[in-house]
Amino acid sequence: MNYLFTSESVSEGHPDKVADQISDALLDEFLAYDANSKVACETLVTTGQVVLAGEVKSSAYVDLMEVARRVINRIGYTRSEYKFEGDSCGVFSAIHEQSADINRGVEREDEMNQGAGDQGMMFGYASNETDNYMPISLDLSHLLLIELAAIRREGKVMTYLRPDSKSQVTIEYNDAHTPVRVHTIVISTQHDDFVTPENNSLEAQAKADEEMLGIIYSDVKNILIPRVIALLPKRVQALFDENLILHVNPTGKFVIGGPHGDTGLTGRKIIVDTYGGKGAHGGGAFSGKDPSKVDRSAAYAARHIAKNMVAAGVSNEMLVQISYAIGVAQPVSVFVDTYNKSNVDMSDAEIASKITEIFDLRPRAIEKRLKLRNPIYEETAAYGHMGRKPQTIVKTFTSKYEPVPLTREVELFTWEKLDYVDTIKKAFNL
């Protein structure tokens, strides 16, 4: 019997994602000027207010307020009617120095023996159901919102769009766990109050709201979804049919949104950040944490391993767990689940053992292999940390504490590179 699986995503203007992006932008600023910075930065956003808190150990001086305002304006909160606007919102900082007790458990005379910044278990997942080895439900959820944001910035159609939005995609699978169709799409997008009621009566307001919803529904169906489908490979395009169920702004109106409509906090969208509910999640958030925190770096390493293993043909689907003790360099355990889809004559435990031979999983080794001590994190903080395109870009940082702008060439999403496929094939005789 066929079954359904659902994933969701949220846009860069969603309150929790605003918080994530501010936290990661602050992290990037510290790493740009001091690569050895230790940062654990949390952000709260609400009506007209940003609160920054956390711990930092760095030789860099960062204008926290300026960074927060830049991020908010980039996202699109630039109008006073949003009740949250980059140039006028209050920014309060409660960031202080990192605990010396934590620091002494992390830093070592031999940097390769750097201890894990905390205990915990981190997961990486990959599946060959999409070209980027991600669950198709999450991949489509992200793509819908990326394209919706592009339409908003273009300003040519759907000119009523505001920054806050959410998506949800339900995929129908057959008994062989193969996607057969896109079953349901949900889009909720913040919008201007762009239809004026004829008078102040409740009936007139309801009529105006119904007219707005009709326009938004039509635009999502006839503009957004065709643009998204056009970006997809043929085999994914084939999953869309006339039986698709589409829900658009199911409450009927979404004018009040963003941090004014809902308080946002760093780290509240960890499933959106990873695999949309497929695989597993250890519970630790990513944004605002420097790579000495294995919550982040080991999750990237686990994804890198799982993706390369599936791409090499070891299994059609794989979950990798890595766990650590605070202050200890070597992982406590490495676990693998191939969901009975392995293509090699080895147990999952034997595959896990082979992984520890191929990949050095000490935190400092992960940092070096994936080039994580670079200002690469603001780009990760919306539309998922996994499944993204690895690329090299140039970033420029300006600071009132420095006489000239700092230009850095950095590699984004290094954990998505398929650079270990040949090594894995050789190790597994594939």
Annotated binding site for ATP: 14, 164-166, 253-254, 262, 268-269, 285, 289
Distance CA 170, CA 63 (A): 43
Whether 313 contacts 331, CB under 8 Å:
no
Binding site members for L-methionine: 55, 98, 262, 293
120-144 b/e (C-beta count within 10 Å ≥ 16 → b) = bbbbbbbbebbeebbbbbbbbbbbb
Q: What is the DSSP string of 26-37?
A: HHHHHHHH-TT-
Q: Which residues are annotated as a binding site for K(+)?
A: 42
**Cβ-count burial of 24 within 10 angstroms (0-12 exposed, 13-18 middle, 19+ buried)?**
buried
Interatomic CA distance for residues 400 and 10, integer angstroms: 33
Question: 133 and 390 in contact (C-beta within 8 Å)?
Answer: no
Residue 327 Ramachandran class (φ > 0 left, ψ -120 to 50 alpha, else beta): left
Quote the Cα angle for 39-41-43, to 5°: 165
Displacement of CA 298 from its chain's centroid (Å): 15
**Whole-number Å distance between alpha carbons of 273 and 142:** 10
Q: What span, in angstroms and rounded, lies between the C-alpha atoms of 6 and 55?
A: 36
Annotated binding site for Mg(2+): 16
As annotated, the binding site includes 14, 16, 42, 55, 98, 164-166, 253-254, 262, 268-269, 285, 289, 293
